[in-house]
Amino acid sequence: MADKKLGFVKGLFFGKVNPGLLIPYPKENDEESQTIKIILDSLKKFARERIDAARIDAEAKMPQEVISGLGQLGILGMATPEEFGGLGLSQFAYAKMMEELGKICGSTATFVGAHQSIGMKAILLFGTEEQKKKYLPELATGAKIAAFALTEPNAGSDAGSIQTTATLSEDGSTFILNGSKHFITNAGIASLLTVFAKQEIEIEGKKEKKISAFIITRDMPGITMDREEEKMGIRGSVTNGFRLENVRVPKENLLGEPGKGFKIAMEVLNYGRLGLAAGCLGASRRLFELSADHAKQREQFGKRLCDFEMIKHKLSDIEIDIFVMESIVDLSVKTADRKDTDFSIEAAICKVFASEALWRVVNNAVQINGGDGYMKEYPYERFLRDARINMIFEGTNEILRLFISLDSIKNVGIELKKLLDSLKRNPLVGVFKVIGASLKKCKGKFCCCDAMLPGLDPALKVYAKKAAVLTKKFSCRVEKVAMKYGRKIVDKEFMQERLSDIAINLYAVYCVIARAQHLIEAKGKPAVEKELNILDAFFDRASARIEKDLNGIFKNKDKVLSAISDKIISG
């Protein structure tokens, strides 16, 4: 795949903003919007009649009629090109569908995401024409179900340490796979598995073990399914481990280039994280609807719950989280649909922010509903159990925070190395280059400012100016961190977490400003008073978090926290 343009968040690490990703606000395709509406209306009707979320959860089973019905509606092949039996719709359309499923049933959303966001995605992105023709039509209709098999008993977040092996047969016609996979969603009902294994690759005359991706079908001898896992939440989704014992996979079932499996897996997971975030948004919307209705109807001490200030606070917090989620997911999905821009960091931020926001939302919803929120008779406890997994799968939020900071800061390190190398080659010229780069930074040529967001309404410029100052501070801290620690930054996880949280909050701020501008243009300022209040409240909180993390980069209690933990472990 061709190299892509620098993503928005990676630019922030340099103190840069790409205004073209924000303003003018990317719009949906009008023709596709009509198609999306038809699909969502059909899905809502189908859900009312056929998807019983409480029953699916209680029985811990996904009914075949639900799977078949989703296939008939086209839900299982939304992103698959029409030539291969799908609807050929955008990532934006897919996100809207996942959002709706998130409202309806966490188990069903998980099943669909595992099948379409990741299970068959590698074939869509990296498959040959022959592979696409052979497998996609049946996957798009739900006649066959797909799963994504990367995780192993001793390789969860550390995907690079997988132990499953792929050995090319002596005649070169097949790969022989041995190993085991763990916690694989849809594995028990999947006919097709995207499996990752290490094979020996010759690189510059040396043999190295690199990860490759393979298409495996359940009819291949040597595949043994383990028992189905019993889970806290998303109980209706099917989760199994399985073992591979001398499974012979035809050479033509290799996905992409040999040894490029890790890159394939990460690219697939980028899309999976966007879909997961959309599902979190949908669940949050439903929880808000239920909680707001309860707060309006329930009376205590002669007043409605919604008239108590602490309940108002909780309802406001939920509404703010939802608006920010909407803004981040919408812009990130539309960035993915551009096809020319790296959105890997934005996808990770979507997943982290949305999963943690949903956890806050469900906690507030349970509290607003009091005793009812704790009882199985009502949906809140199911939403709570379903919500917890989102901070774990598709990359734990801790690992994604490391990814956000390290993958972004490495670009800064590369640029600094170029300057330092220049200094070594020609000290005089090098000095001028370093000074020149610093002067440009001081003059703001490498830093964002409100002028880089063209056409902002005056009501939004104050936020853009403050965001510019925070972005400049951030990029200067990043540069200092890169110069001070170099490669040792890999071991500075306290530092990485702060940098990631700053990036997450900055991205959220810019997304909310851009969306507020879009709403003002579409509806007029008087009609978006609530949204402007949300922007004001969120910006106040986000900027405070950013300042705290900026100040904590070099002045903190990290050693004290480590000492406490070390003492616990040592007994």
Q: Hey, which residues does 181 pair with through a beta bridge? A: 242
CB atoms within 10 A of CB 251: 13
- At 351, the amino acid letter reads K
Cβ 75 vs Cβ 43: under 8 Å:
yes
Q: What is the rounded (10 degree) CA torsion for 445, 504, 337, 117?
A: 160
With vertex at residue 328, the alpha carbon angle to CA 327 and CA 331, rounded to the nearest 5 degrees, is 80
Q: Hey, which residues does 195 pair with through a beta bridge? A: 149, 214
Q: Which of 438, 320, 461, 291 is nearest to 379 (CA)?
A: 291
CB atoms within 10 A of CB 133: 13
The full DSSP string for 117-153 is IIITHHHHHH--HHHHHHHHHHHHHTSS-EEEE--BT
Q: Hey, which residues does 208 pair with through a beta bridge? A: 201
Query: Which of 138, 394, 497, 531 is the catalytic position?
Result: 394
CA–CA separation, 70 vs 189, rounded Å?
15
CA–CA separation, 111 vs 197, rounded Å?
24
Is the peptide bond between 24 and the residue preceding it cis, with omega within 30 degrees of 0?
A: yes
- At 205, the amino acid letter reads G
Q: Which residue has the tokens 């006919």?
A: 191
Q: Which residue has the tokens 């997988």?
A: 162
Cβ 35 vs Cβ 89: under 8 Å:
yes
Length of the chain: 571
Q: Tell how strand 254-255 and strand 239-250 pair up.
A: unpaired
H-run or E-run covering 338: helix 309-338
Catalytic (active site) residue 394:
yes
Question: What is the sign of the dihedral through the CA atoms of 439, 481, 340 and 464?
Answer: negative
CA–CA separation, 448 vs 436, rounded Å?
18
Q: What is the rounded (10 degree) CA torsion for 58, 60, 63, 69?
A: 90
Q: Which residue has the tokens 């306290």?
A: 494
Catalytic sites, residue numbers: 394
